[in-house]
Structure 1
Amino acid sequence: MSLGEGIGRLAATIESRKGADPESSWTARLLSKGPEKAAQKFGEEAIEAIVEAVKGDREKLIAEAADALYHLLVMCAARDVTLADVEAELERREGRSGLEEKAARG
Protein backbone atom coordinates (compact mmCIF):
# COMPACT_ATOMS: atom_id res chain seq x y z
CA MET A 1 0.00 0.00 0.00
CA SER A 2 1.36 3.42 -0.93
CA LEU A 3 1.23 6.41 1.38
CA GLY A 4 -1.34 8.07 -0.87
CA GLU A 5 -3.61 5.01 -0.85
CA GLY A 6 -3.40 4.70 2.91
CA ILE A 7 -4.09 8.36 3.54
CA GLY A 8 -6.92 8.27 1.01
CA ARG A 9 -8.56 5.36 2.81
CA LEU A 10 -8.04 7.06 6.16
CA ALA A 11 -9.61 10.30 4.86
CA ALA A 12 -12.59 8.32 3.51
CA THR A 13 -13.04 6.59 6.86
CA ILE A 14 -12.93 9.93 8.69
CA GLU A 15 -15.50 11.37 6.27
CA SER A 16 -17.76 8.38 6.83
CA ARG A 17 -17.69 9.00 10.59
CA LYS A 18 -19.20 12.49 10.27
CA GLY A 19 -22.56 12.35 11.98
CA ALA A 20 -21.92 8.89 13.42
CA ASP A 21 -22.70 8.10 17.04
CA PRO A 22 -19.88 9.57 19.17
CA GLU A 23 -20.12 6.51 21.40
CA SER A 24 -19.30 4.22 18.46
CA SER A 25 -16.15 5.87 17.13
CA TRP A 26 -13.22 7.94 18.39
CA THR A 27 -13.32 9.92 15.13
CA ALA A 28 -17.04 10.63 15.54
CA ARG A 29 -16.40 11.70 19.12
CA LEU A 30 -13.66 14.14 18.04
CA LEU A 31 -15.81 15.55 15.25
CA SER A 32 -18.78 15.96 17.59
CA LYS A 33 -16.67 18.20 19.84
CA GLY A 34 -16.17 20.69 17.04
CA PRO A 35 -13.33 22.11 14.96
CA GLU A 36 -11.62 23.77 17.90
CA LYS A 37 -11.19 20.46 19.75
CA ALA A 38 -9.99 18.76 16.58
CA ALA A 39 -7.42 21.55 16.12
CA GLN A 40 -6.30 21.21 19.73
CA LYS A 41 -5.79 17.45 19.32
CA PHE A 42 -3.81 17.99 16.11
CA GLY A 43 -1.60 20.52 17.89
CA GLU A 44 -0.94 18.10 20.74
CA GLU A 45 -0.02 15.31 18.34
CA ALA A 46 2.18 17.59 16.24
CA ILE A 47 4.10 18.65 19.34
CA GLU A 48 4.54 15.01 20.36
CA ALA A 49 5.96 14.25 16.88
CA ILE A 50 8.34 17.20 17.18
CA VAL A 51 9.55 15.96 20.58
CA GLU A 52 10.30 12.51 19.18
CA ALA A 53 12.05 14.01 16.13
CA VAL A 54 14.30 16.02 18.44
CA LYS A 55 14.97 13.00 20.67
CA GLY A 56 15.84 10.89 17.65
CA ASP A 57 13.67 7.90 18.57
CA ARG A 58 12.72 6.61 15.11
CA GLU A 59 9.98 4.18 16.20
CA LYS A 60 8.27 6.72 18.46
CA LEU A 61 8.51 9.35 15.71
CA ILE A 62 6.80 6.98 13.28
CA ALA A 63 3.96 6.41 15.75
CA GLU A 64 3.57 10.11 16.54
CA ALA A 65 3.75 11.07 12.84
CA ALA A 66 0.90 8.64 12.16
CA ASP A 67 -1.11 10.18 15.00
CA ALA A 68 -0.40 13.68 13.68
CA LEU A 69 -1.49 12.77 10.13
CA TYR A 70 -4.72 11.23 11.44
CA HIS A 71 -5.52 14.26 13.60
CA LEU A 72 -4.65 16.65 10.75
CA LEU A 73 -7.23 14.91 8.57
CA VAL A 74 -9.82 15.02 11.37
CA MET A 75 -9.17 18.74 11.87
CA CYS A 76 -9.60 19.38 8.16
CA ALA A 77 -12.77 17.27 8.03
CA ALA A 78 -14.18 19.27 10.94
CA ARG A 79 -13.96 22.35 8.68
CA ASP A 80 -15.15 20.50 5.55
CA VAL A 81 -11.70 20.58 3.96
CA THR A 82 -11.19 17.35 2.06
CA LEU A 83 -8.05 15.48 1.16
CA ALA A 84 -8.88 16.32 -2.47
CA ASP A 85 -8.79 20.03 -1.54
CA VAL A 86 -5.32 19.63 -0.02
CA GLU A 87 -4.10 17.52 -2.96
CA ALA A 88 -5.31 20.19 -5.39
CA GLU A 89 -3.33 22.83 -3.51
CA LEU A 90 -0.22 20.65 -3.58
CA GLU A 91 -0.67 20.11 -7.33
CA ARG A 92 -1.04 23.86 -7.82
CA ARG A 93 2.30 24.34 -6.09
CA GLU A 94 4.08 21.56 -7.96
CA GLY A 95 7.01 22.72 -10.04
CA ARG A 96 7.55 25.86 -7.97
CA SER A 97 10.42 26.09 -5.60
CA GLY A 98 9.55 26.44 -1.94
CA LEU A 99 11.17 29.88 -1.93
CA GLU A 100 9.03 31.03 -4.87
CA GLU A 101 5.87 29.64 -3.28
CA LYS A 102 6.55 31.36 0.05
CA ALA A 103 7.29 34.67 -1.70
CA ALA A 104 4.01 34.45 -3.61
CA ARG A 105 2.10 34.09 -0.33
CA GLY A 106 3.62 37.30 0.96
Structure 2
Amino acid sequence: MSLTRLAETIAARAAADPEESWTAKLLAKGPEKCAEKFGEEAVEAIIEAVKGDRERLTSEAADVLFHLLVMCQARGVTLDDIEAELARREGQSGIAEKASRG
Protein backbone atom coordinates (compact mmCIF):
# COMPACT_ATOMS: atom_id res chain seq x y z
CA MET A 1 0.00 0.00 0.00
CA SER A 2 1.35 3.42 -0.91
CA LEU A 3 1.42 6.26 1.59
CA THR A 4 -1.08 8.10 -0.61
CA ARG A 5 -3.52 5.21 -0.47
CA LEU A 6 -2.98 4.82 3.27
CA ALA A 7 -3.67 8.53 3.83
CA GLU A 8 -6.82 8.31 1.69
CA THR A 9 -8.01 5.28 3.67
CA ILE A 10 -7.40 7.07 6.98
CA ALA A 11 -9.30 10.15 5.75
CA ALA A 12 -12.22 7.98 4.61
CA ARG A 13 -12.34 6.08 7.88
CA ALA A 14 -12.43 9.31 9.88
CA ALA A 15 -16.17 9.39 9.19
CA ALA A 16 -16.71 5.70 9.97
CA ASP A 17 -18.39 4.25 13.03
CA PRO A 18 -15.82 4.05 15.85
CA GLU A 19 -17.33 0.70 16.83
CA GLU A 20 -16.36 -0.71 13.43
CA SER A 21 -13.05 1.00 12.60
CA TRP A 22 -9.86 1.19 14.68
CA THR A 23 -8.91 4.38 12.82
CA ALA A 24 -12.27 6.02 13.55
CA LYS A 25 -12.07 4.88 17.17
CA LEU A 26 -8.62 6.40 17.58
CA LEU A 27 -9.62 9.65 15.88
CA ALA A 28 -12.74 9.88 18.05
CA LYS A 29 -10.48 9.90 21.13
CA GLY A 30 -8.92 13.14 19.91
CA PRO A 31 -5.58 14.46 18.69
CA GLU A 32 -3.87 13.98 22.04
CA LYS A 33 -4.63 10.24 22.09
CA CYS A 34 -3.50 9.96 18.46
CA ALA A 35 -0.23 11.68 19.39
CA GLU A 36 0.22 9.38 22.39
CA LYS A 37 -0.28 6.31 20.21
CA PHE A 38 2.19 7.65 17.62
CA GLY A 39 4.75 8.15 20.40
CA GLU A 40 4.28 4.59 21.65
CA GLU A 41 4.81 3.21 18.17
CA ALA A 42 7.87 5.41 17.61
CA VAL A 43 9.45 4.10 20.82
CA GLU A 44 8.75 0.52 19.74
CA ALA A 45 10.45 1.20 16.40
CA ILE A 46 13.46 2.69 18.18
CA ILE A 47 13.76 -0.40 20.37
CA GLU A 48 13.72 -2.69 17.33
CA ALA A 49 16.27 -0.51 15.53
CA VAL A 50 18.61 -0.74 18.51
CA LYS A 51 18.10 -4.50 18.74
CA GLY A 52 18.85 -4.86 15.04
CA ASP A 53 15.79 -7.01 14.33
CA ARG A 54 15.10 -6.08 10.70
CA GLU A 55 11.75 -7.89 10.46
CA ARG A 56 10.39 -6.36 13.69
CA LEU A 57 11.72 -2.92 12.72
CA THR A 58 9.92 -3.18 9.39
CA SER A 59 6.67 -4.01 11.19
CA GLU A 60 7.09 -1.24 13.74
CA ALA A 61 8.05 1.28 11.04
CA ALA A 62 4.77 0.49 9.26
CA ASP A 63 2.93 1.11 12.54
CA VAL A 64 4.79 4.43 12.95
CA LEU A 65 3.83 5.61 9.45
CA PHE A 66 0.19 4.63 10.01
CA HIS A 67 -0.04 6.37 13.37
CA LEU A 68 1.82 9.44 12.09
CA LEU A 69 -0.79 9.85 9.37
CA VAL A 70 -3.63 9.28 11.88
CA MET A 71 -2.13 11.92 14.19
CA CYS A 72 -1.83 14.36 11.30
CA GLN A 73 -5.42 13.59 10.19
CA ALA A 74 -6.57 14.45 13.70
CA ARG A 75 -5.07 17.92 13.30
CA GLY A 76 -6.07 18.46 9.66
CA VAL A 77 -2.57 18.00 8.24
CA THR A 78 -2.64 16.04 4.99
CA LEU A 79 -0.03 13.97 3.24
CA ASP A 80 -0.08 16.65 0.54
CA ASP A 81 0.86 19.22 3.20
CA ILE A 82 3.76 17.04 4.33
CA GLU A 83 4.93 16.40 0.77
CA ALA A 84 4.80 20.15 0.03
CA GLU A 85 7.01 20.82 3.05
CA LEU A 86 9.47 18.13 1.92
CA ALA A 87 9.50 19.65 -1.58
CA ARG A 88 10.21 23.07 -0.07
CA ARG A 89 13.22 21.60 1.71
CA GLU A 90 14.52 19.70 -1.32
CA GLY A 91 18.00 20.71 -2.33
CA GLN A 92 18.62 22.48 0.96
CA SER A 93 21.32 21.25 3.29
CA GLY A 94 19.90 19.52 6.36
CA ILE A 95 22.17 21.66 8.51
CA ALA A 96 20.94 24.89 6.88
CA GLU A 97 17.31 23.77 7.09
CA LYS A 98 17.61 22.97 10.78
CA ALA A 99 19.31 26.33 11.45
CA SER A 100 16.44 28.14 9.66
CA ARG A 101 13.98 26.74 12.23
CA GLY A 102 15.73 28.65 14.90
Q: Same fold judged by TM-score > 0.5?
A: yes
In structure 2, distance between residues paired with 1:49 and 1:105: 26
1:23 is matched with: 19
2:63 is matched with: 67
The CA deviation string for residues 58-103 of structure 1, in whole angstroms up to 9 with x for no partner, is 0000000000000000000000000000000000000001001001
Q: Does 1:97 align with 2:93?
A: yes
1:56 is matched with: 52
In structure 2, distance between residues paired with 1:9 and 1:20: 17
Aligned length: 102
Shift of 1:19: 2.1
Q: Taking structure 2 as the reference length, what is the TM-score of the superposition?
A: 0.98
Q: 1:32 aligns with which of 28, 31, 37?
A: 28
The CA deviation string for residues 21-49 of structure 1, in whole angstroms up to 9 with x for no partner, is 00111000000000000000000000000
Structure 2, unaligned runs of 5 or more: none
Give the share of equivalent positions with the same residue, in percent. 71
Deviating beyond 4 angstroms after TM superposition, the runs of 4 or more aligned structure 1 residues are none
In structure 1, distance between residues paired with 2:44 and 2:64: 8
